[in-house]
Amino acid sequence: MSRIGVFICHCGENISRTVDVERVAAEIGRHPGVAFSTDYKYMCSDPGQTLLKKAIQEQRLTHVVVAACSPRMHEKTFRKAVEVAGLNPFLCEMANIREHCSWVHEDREEATVKAIDIVGMMVERVKKNRVLAAITVPVTKRSLVIGGGIAGIQAALDIADCGHEVILVEREPSIGGHMAQLSETFPTLDCSQCIMTPKMVDVANHPKIKLYTYSEIELVEGYIGNFQVTIKKKARSVDEDKCTGCGVCMTKCPQKKIPNRFDQNIGMRSAIYVPFPQAVPNTPVIDRDNCTWFKSGKCGVCQKVCGPGAVDFEQQDRLVVEAVGAIVVATGFDLYSINEKPKGSAIKGYGEFGHGKIPDVIDGMTFERLASASGPTGGKILRPSDGKEPKQIVFIQCVGSRAREKGISYCSKVCCMYTAKHTMLYHHKVHDGQAYVFFMDARTPGKSYDEFWRRSIEEEEAVYIRGMVSRLYQKGDKIVVMGSDIAVGVQVEIEADMVVLATAIQPQKGADTLAQKLGISYDKYNFYSEAHAKLRPVECATAGIYLAGACQGPKDIPETVSQASAAAAKVMTLFSKDKLEREPVVARVREAGCVGCFACKKVCAYGAVEEKEIRDRQGNLVKIVAYVNPGVCAGCGTCQATCPSKCVELDGYTDEQIVAMIEAL
Amino acid sequence: MKKKKMIISQETMDIDFVRKVEALADTSVRRCFQCGKCSAGCPMATFMEHPPNRVVRLLQLGQWRRVLEGRSIWYCASCETCSTRCPNKVHLASIMDALRKLSWDAHGPSKEGYVQLANKLFLQNIRTYGRQYEMRLAAVFNVKSGQFLKDLMLGPKLIAKGKLKMFHSKNKNLPEIEKIFTRIAEIRAKGEAL
Amino acid sequence: MNKKLNYSYYPGCSLHASASEYDLSTRELFKTLNIGLTEVPDWFCCGATPAHNVDELLSLSLCAKNLELADKVEGDLAVACAACFSRLKFTQHTLEENMTKRKQVEKAIDAPLKLDGKVKHLLDILARDLGLERLAAAVKKPLSGLKVACYYGCLLTRPPDVPNLDCAEAPTIMEQVVEAAGAETVAWTHRLECCGANFTLSRPGVVIQLTNAILESAKDAGADCIMVGCPLCHGNLDIRQKEIEGVYKADYNLPVFYLTQLVGLSVGLGADKLGLDAMIVNPLPLLKEKGLL
């Protein structure tokens, strides 16, 4: 005979405002099998939990139902409390009377009746719960970090400094990411290269970090603590072990007029190249699409001049498999491209700004390269069209961002600050020039951020104009900016020498494909989703995978670094134990009834279903049945719904329990 | 110029009027976040006392009287530049249409007379003749607006070039046009349309 | 052999009055290109800007009735005037999207609506239905050396989801058509700016200011002439050009052609069949200088 305890939470006023909690407690007290019921203002608080524990002991309770918020929020809390009081934690269930009831209803009477129904159902379910023991799985204490920008670098260094091995995979020939492209950084104006390159060197020299550049993730298998990752090392055409990084190949390469993507295509590079002089590793790569040898079979100069004989035209892509226990995803962002998009694309462009047609209309990242001391102009602000110094420069904010008509309704978060920085850099470099900024709102929350923005206006003399720009057009060697100042209520026209567009931040191209390989979720823009917006911001819903940086949403450097360290801390928490305990809410196969159709295997999204041979005592094969690997099973229940012979059941969600719940209504 | 202080309360914000505008224009007024891009590109903004973004702002505050009393809505050329470039897909050109209609329903509180007169004569011509005859339209406009000599020099030149027809044939669909006018009046009288 | 193209034709009020040369040149050009054109009998005014300006329901109803009349004539509906084109397309778009308005209009015209007939501007017919290759093949006197500024104005391309003729910010269809006729086109800044349209009657001062900017931009770009597809734009650019030159002390002397006049010229039509004598800014000296007449 079960003695069930039911605990009704007020959740402050969140539940009690619409649900008569005392009445719920009284009525559920009369439900068959319920030995005790009560209500309390905050069940999750320390006194609330104490009340629960005391009742279990004093009332000799066998099962517990906590009627409160969503189990996503506090199921762990209450199961722990129940365990402390001496009960098996899986004999505790939560009835959600907040999200499913009080928050979505207005009528108190009806909400109360519904709450009683919800709690009654959970009482019937918990009656049939089984005692479960946590599943333990071994943990491989190595981690994979995907993406070698500042987020990936920070996470990799933190984990490696703790003594755990890290595999760092970067798609480009060098690590560094977007931060390596920046000139100076807000709000302190320290040079990006100066603070970035030492960290890049640390990565290269760290004995615990294994670096794969010019490489991509091909396949991810396994589960938390036990992932197998296949990495594709693209053919670099240069042997990394032999190359000394002397750079003779690059100076001798006859193909020198290839636009360098690292310099936003305003600088040029050779066909065998490193994207920038401080690249890590300092090993060149051959761009086979532009190399004369690969196009026509002639040339081969780089191979002839290479002393150590590192140039290898025959090199092939190759696959490497690495075993890791945790994965940090740090794939970063891409810039919104301003121009017209193909018809049918969800994201639209800005034809009215003439970007791509008017040479001196550039994006913010191109301005960074112009302002960078290691950039194509050596840090001088010069127009791409004629190399002249612009004396009137216009910045336009929110290009792509906050524009639902263009398909992106979010704020890109960093543009207000980097535009303020741009006006300062411009003022420092062009003393007789004037910067104008068209903006809607200045969004500058952050330590010393608003002060920085104000400084750009008050000390660096940038003129901010509240209003947007309708159109840009070339008139002679000027760009006419048709804007408006909504504070004054007039149209504004500026004949500018150069225009810089603060373009939106988007996730990296292919972010969705990578997410599908990893089995993690992403939003409609392809930003990766965290498990909980507030309380689990660096974890994915998929166990063992963590997020760092702008792949999760627009972020600046300080925030990215914080999140990267947080993700590293989560990985180290996982690695602090040799074995990992997992929720035992997994599917089990009733082998006697299983006919081996493997419908369950086809539908399992986690690859948890395996084939198991049943043999008699003589070792003869009797049949092959399905087996659910408890280490991999995520407890989603798809197999249970699919099985034609009703032989797979998920603990806590068996057919018997579901029927009992329905009958309680 | 003296400007009246805006007293804001639930009573002074006429949200019903705004809902009418939104229904007629099939767009949202609340979506606008006042970026001013409409005003930046409006070819007529320099002729308006309230630039386009401010027309929307006043609607957001339910202050339609300030909008309708002014000339702004009558200076909109319906060029659709604002609707084309609005980052929030606020269809401002349609909002302007809706405001002009509601202004007429409110018996035209605007000081702007010429544009309204031209519109009135244009619609009368459709009802009477089925088609526009520019000569008649221009002549009647000049008489009614008291600008007898306006564009006097253009007239003879255009007649000589055959551009202003003096005579016209009767349109067989005139009764059908008349029916459209009367049916619309009936629909509105029954409250089935704004 | 390609099937003969046939269209119903909605000229619009202006083409029967101030823009008679647009009507004439359209009919002659289509005849030469062997494209059938049947005028919708007893079509009436679409309501143009004044109707939707103050009474959208009236505007939609007038257009819907005209679309119904056009349905009785074989072929897609060919429209010459950019304003009529815009209103007819707006009517189709609005009534497809907004069921409330659709019901109101059905009551106003006392008939169920059918919106599947295609409405096409002449540019669409020349560039896409006939096709640039066939158009170029029909050219007998290429407009060599003639530098044309193609003026789109507002209603041919805006707003982007309604006329669907070409890209709203960087259209090329006019340039493609006149280049197929052998002309050169100039890149200029004001081809999409508004000329003030129907303010020509009520507020000519506004029109003079806006149109001047357009003429100035075309002149600066080195154009010999302007090409339009809208009688309202034409009225402002051509009829008011002398007056504008007076006000702004400028010397533009830019003939303003309808697209059918220029294309007509290239397929060998004479001045009399194109109504060149109806143009206020005399195009004959320019055409003679370029050896096109």
CATH of the domain at C11: 1.20.1050.140
Own/partner pairs, A343-351, CB within 8 angstroms, 24+ separation = A345/A407, A346/A407, A347/A400, A347/A406, A347/A407, A347/A408, A347/A506, A348/A405, A348/A406, A348/A407, A349/A406, A350/A399, A350/A400, A350/A406, A350/A501, A350/C169, A351/C167, A351/C168, A351/C169, A351/C170
Please judge whether A405 and B40 are an interchain contact, meaning their C-beta atoms are less than 8 angstroms apart.
no
**Equal fold, A4-127 vs A337-506:** no
Q: How many structural domains does chain B have?
A: 2
Q: Are C149 and C226 in contact (CB under 8 A)?
A: yes
Alpha carbons C175 and C237: distance in angstroms, whole number: 19
CB atoms inside a 10 Å sphere around CB A373: 13
Alpha carbons A276 and C158: distance in angstroms, whole number: 45
**Residue contacts between B and C (CB atoms, under 8 Å):** 178
CB atoms inside a 10 Å sphere around CB A503: 25
Alpha carbons A91 and B115: distance in angstroms, whole number: 78
> Which of A141, A144, A76, A167 is closest to A576 using CA atoms?
A141
Please judge whether A475 and C189 are an interchain contact, meaning their C-beta atoms are less than 8 angstroms apart.
yes
| Mean pLDDT, all residues of chain B | 89
pLDDT band for position C115 (cuts 50, 70, 90): confident
Cβ burial of C71 (10 Å; 0-12, 13-18, 19+) is middle
Of all residues in chain B, the one with the smallest CA distance to C277 is B161
Residues in C closer than 8 angstroms to A351, CB to CB, are 167-170
Q: Are residues C165 and C214 in the same domain?
A: yes
The verdict on residue C61 lying in a domain is yes
Please judge whether A351 and C167 are an interchain contact, meaning their C-beta atoms are less than 8 angstroms apart.
yes
The verdict on residue B24 lying in a domain is yes
Please judge whether B43 and C194 are an interchain contact, meaning their C-beta atoms are less than 8 angstroms apart.
yes
Alpha carbons A233 and A239: distance in angstroms, whole number: 12
Query: Mean pLDDT, to the nearest integer, of C59-80?
Result: 96
Residues in A closer than 8 angstroms to C189, CB to CB, are 473-475, 480
pLDDT at position B190 is 94
Please judge whether A480 and C167 are an interchain contact, meaning their C-beta atoms are less than 8 angstroms apart.
no
pLDDT for residue B142 is more than 60? yes
CATH of domain A4-127: 3.40.50
Q: What is the pLDDT of residues A503-533, one digit of tens each?
A: 999 999 999 999 999 999 999 999 999 999 9
Q: Give one DSSP letter per residue of A329-380, joined into a string.
A: E---EEEPP-S---TT-SS---GGGTBTTBTTEEEHHHHHHHHSTTSTTTT-
Q: What burial letters (b/e) apply to C168-198, b meaning 16+ CB within 10 Å? A: bbebebbbbbbbbbbbbbbebbbbbbbbbbb
Alpha carbons A433 and A411: distance in angstroms, whole number: 29
Rg, C-alpha atoms of chain A: 31
Q: Are residues C27 and C88 in the same domain?
A: yes
pLDDT at position A157 is 98
| Mean pLDDT, all residues of chain A | 95
Q: Are residues B125 and B151 in the same domain?
A: yes
Tokens 């910045």 -> residue? A395
Q: Are C13 and C235 in contact (CB under 8 A)?
A: no
Residues from A contacting B (CB-CB < 8 Å) are 352, 398, 402-406, 440, 466-471, 482-486, 489-492
pLDDT band for position B166 (cuts 50, 70, 90): low
Q: What is the pLDDT of residues B61-101, one digit of tens each?
A: 999 999 999 899 999 999 999 999 999 999 999 999 999 99
Fold of A337-506: FAD/NAD(P)-binding domain (3.50.50)
Cβ burial of A343 (10 Å; 0-12, 13-18, 19+) is exposed
pLDDT for residue C1 is more than 60? no
pLDDT at position C2 is 65
CB atoms inside a 10 Å sphere around CB A122: 24
Q: Are residues B136 and B89 in the same domain?
A: no
Domain edge (last residue) among B105, B127, B149: B105
> Which of A337, A329, A152 is closest to A261 using CA atoms?
A337
Q: Which CATH class is domain A587-663?
A: alpha beta
Alpha carbons A589 and C157: distance in angstroms, whole number: 63
Domain that includes residue B173, residue range: 114-189
Residue segments in chain A with a per-residue pLDDT below the cut of 70? none
pLDDT band for position B139 (cuts 50, 70, 90): confident
Q: Are residues B100 and B125 in the same domain?
A: no
Residue A591's alpha-carbon distances to A132, A357, A624, A642, A644, in angstroms, are: 19, 68, 9, 16, 14
pLDDT band for position B165 (cuts 50, 70, 90): low
- Listed in sequence order, the residues at least 6 apart from A177 whose beta carbon sits closer than 8 Å to its beta carbon are A147, A148, A149, A150, A151, A152, A153, A332
What six digits make up the tokens of A169? 């995979």
Torsion of CA B146, B147, B148, B151, to 10 degrees: -160
Q: Give one DSSP letter per residue of C174-187, joined into a string.
A: HHHHHHHTT-EE--
The verdict on residue C134 lying in a domain is no
pLDDT for residue C186 is more than 80? yes
pLDDT band for position B105 (cuts 50, 70, 90): confident
Q: Are residues C39 and C115 in the same domain?
A: yes
What six digits make up the tokens of A164? 């755990």
Q: Are B161 and C278 in contact (CB under 8 A)?
A: yes
Residue C273's H or E segment, with its range, is helix C271-274
Q: What is the pLDDT of residues C81-90, one digit of tens each?
A: 999 999 999 9
Q: What is the pLDDT of residues A256-284, one digit of tens each?
A: 999 999 999 999 999 999 999 999 999 99
Alpha carbons A400 and A416: distance in angstroms, whole number: 13
Residues in A closer than 8 angstroms to B51, CB to CB, are 484, 486, 489-491
Alpha carbons B76 and C196: distance in angstroms, whole number: 9
pLDDT at position B182 is 96
Q: Are residues C211 and C248 in the same domain?
A: yes
**Residue contacts between A and B (CB atoms, under 8 Å):** 77
Orientation of helix B92-105 relative to helix C56-71, angle to 10°:
110
Q: How many structural domains does chain C have?
A: 2
* Entry pTM: 0.88
Q: Are residues C179 and C276 in the same domain?
A: yes
HSE on the CB side for A329, CA within 13 Å? 33
Q: What is the CATH number of the domain that holds C257?
A: 3.40.50.11810
Q: Are residues C282 and C181 in the same domain?
A: yes
Q: Are residues C228 and C103 in the same domain?
A: no
- Listed in sequence order, the residues at least 6 apart from A443 whose beta carbon sits closer than 8 Å to its beta carbon are A411, A413, A416
The verdict on residue C126 lying in a domain is no
pLDDT at position A161 is 98
Alpha carbons C233 and A60: distance in angstroms, whole number: 90
A624 to chain C, any CB pair closer than 8 A? The answer is no
Residues from B contacting A (CB-CB < 8 Å) are 31, 33-42, 45-46, 50-51, 53-54, 81, 85-89
Residue A181 DSSP code: G
Q: Are C34 and C4 in contact (CB under 8 A)?
A: yes
pLDDT at position B169 is 67
Of all residues in chain C, the one with the smallest CA distance to A353 is C169
The verdict on residue B130 lying in a domain is yes
Q: Are residues C175 and C262 in the same domain?
A: yes
Q: What is the pLDDT of residues B110-122, one digit of tens each?
A: 778 888 888 888 9
Q: Are residues C90 and C177 in the same domain?
A: no
What six digits make up the tokens of C35? 């494209």
Q: What is the CATH number of the domain that holds B85?
A: 1.10.1060.10
Q: Are B56 and A374 in contact (CB under 8 A)?
A: no
Interface of A with C in 26-45 (CB under 8 A): none
Domain ranges of chain A: 4-127, 142-234+317-332+509-575, 248-305, 337-506, 587-663
Alpha carbons A294 and A301: distance in angstroms, whole number: 12
Residue A269's alpha-carbon distances to A197, A295, A377, A489, in angstroms, are: 21, 17, 14, 48
pLDDT band for position C17 (cuts 50, 70, 90): confident
HSE on the CB side for A475, CA within 13 Å? 19
pLDDT at position C3 is 79
Alpha carbons C159 and C140: distance in angstroms, whole number: 36
Of B78, B81, B165, the CB nearest to C53: B78
- Report helix, strand or coil for B23: helix
> What letter represents residue C204's amino acid?
P
Distance to chain B for A351, nearest Cα, Å:
10
Alpha carbons A211 and A279: distance in angstroms, whole number: 13
Q: Which CATH class is domain A142-234+317-332+509-575?
A: alpha beta
Please judge whether C197 and B192 are an interchain contact, meaning their C-beta atoms are less than 8 angstroms apart.
no
Alpha carbons A313 and A286: distance in angstroms, whole number: 9
Q: Are residues B68 and B23 in the same domain?
A: yes
pLDDT at position B1 is 56
The verdict on residue C221 lying in a domain is yes
Q: Are residues C113 and C188 in the same domain?
A: no
Domain that includes residue C37, residue range: 6-121
Q: Are residues B169 and B95 in the same domain?
A: no
> Which of C172, C101, C108, C185 is closest to C146 using CA atoms?
C185
The verdict on residue C36 lying in a domain is yes
